[in-house]
Amino acid sequence: MYRSGAFVAEHVEPIADEQVQPNGVDLTLDSLFEQVSPGRLGVEGKTIGDREAIDAGADGTYLLPPGGYVLQYAETIRIPDGHVGFLYPRSSLMRNSCMLNTAVWDAGYEGRGEGLLQVHHDVELETGARVAQLVLARADNEELYDGSYQGERLSEAKSKSR
């Protein structure tokens, strides 16, 4: 069973009232990157390819031509025990020929995640724009997430809040 937006909001920060939806919470754009070197997924591990930051304009707007981009969210997420998180693109992205690919967030995950933004037609995205909606569903879990992405970008969040 999916939880209410008010419940999800208890596990996301920072958050503004307009981000809370009936069935989830909107996540916002923090920054964008292009991957510039190959990555690798193997049996014994993984390597994430090098990335270069994309500069936003003086007004905080990214002007994006078609292509693939790594989109980083501004909010810190904490997936509670007994739950699983799913992230879906906001319909406004799809209506502008963009798609956001995401992954499952396991119980116990804490961090500031990212997704793959696919742009199929020129688009402008402003820093802070709502781009995705996080929903939480009740789920059985044997243990809590303790993988390599645990705590991702949390030190960045602390330094930005100072």
How do the domains of the chain map onto residue ranges?
A: 5-160
Give dist(CA 123, CA 62) in Å, integer. 8
- CATH for 5-160? 2.70.40.10
The residues with which 110 forms a beta bridge, in sequence order, are 78
| pLDDT tens-place string over residues 90-105 | 999 999 999 999 999 9
- The reported pLDDT for the residue numbered 32 is 98
Q: Where are the alpha helices (DSSP H) in 13-147?
A: 91-95
Contact 36, 53 (CB under 8 A): no
For the chain, the residue count is 162
| pLDDT tens-place string over residues 58-68 | 999 999 999 99
Backbone angles phi, psi at 74, to 5 degrees: -85, -25
Written as six digits, the tokens of 152 are 């991702």
Range name among 8-17, 23-32, 148-157 with the lowest pLDDT average: 148-157
As a whole number, the mean pLDDT across the chain is 94
| pLDDT tens-place string over residues 81-92 | 999 999 999 999
HSE, CB side, 13 Å, CA atoms: give it for residue 95: 4
Report the 10 Å Cβ neighbour count for 28. Answer: 18
pTM for the whole thing? 0.92
